[in-house]
Structure 1
């Protein structure tokens, strides 16, 4: 593979990595300063699907969530991080979000994968899974 083809691969990834990375950076930074009530709300929502999260202090949970989002932002925004690594992190995080969507009562229409009005905010995160999987696939295939 020549350096010109490597540049094209990077250029192809830029729109995905920049937009999603900026989104995660904003989200992570906003969670760093979450007050107790906000942290408790985040934790209670997540713990309803992932009960082990209920054992954490709410403020600690919010800080860990913020740190995770900031780590994903960094992986996406720093160009030396391989696509497969950034994509794997994004895919894992989005799988957790989709787990919330699938397992939280009231997020989906009865007997369907279609979201309710309340579930649309989580259902839309399926795009994160698609972007993460695309980065992983591109990262794996670019070395062939």
Structure 2
């Protein structure tokens, strides 16, 4: 069994704890929270309109909890944890880029409303770092 390397620990713990906490907070979210998060998601990804807001919130919560646990579990390989984090953060960044109010016109730079979501780029960096580390570990083995 391969355990995470010491250099993976800071990134995995920081992102894993943050995402796990976010998912747990959403698990018992109320109707207003569900409607708000669902509305923003539908604005970026119209196909989600057919998913009821409460169900969407529960699915998002489950995805966050699963991703957070994968990152925090020492025996989950870097490639698996990195793929989960890269996929999750890519979705958040796509939401950011597809929501005009979150960034300045004709720019990738955030508007005041988009600063919180734009910062999710760090999670993409950690996820890609885990994937690169796993690939180079296999190549060097």
TM-score band w.r.t. shorter chain? over 0.9
2:68 paired with 1:68: no
**Aligned alpha-carbon RMSD (Å):** 1.3
Partner of 1:54: 49
Partner of 2:134: 139
Shift of 1:100: 1.0
Instruction: Output the TM-score relative to the length of structure 1.
Output: 0.92
Instruction: Count the aligned residue pairs.
Output: 138
Please give the per-residue CA displacement for 1:21-56, whole angstroms capped at 9, x wherever unaligned.
Answer: 100110000000100111011101001011111111
Q: Which has the higher contact order (CA 8 A, sep 6+)?
A: 2
Instruction: Output the TM-score relative to the length of structure 2.
Output: 0.93
Structure 2 unpaired stretches of 5+? none
Structure 1 unpaired stretches of 5+? 1-5
Structure (1 or 2) with the larger CA radius of gyration:
1
SS for the counterpart of 2:86 is helix
Match of 2:93 among 98, 102, 106: 98
**Which consecutive aligned stretches of 4+ in structure 1 deviate over 4 angstroms post-superposition?**
none
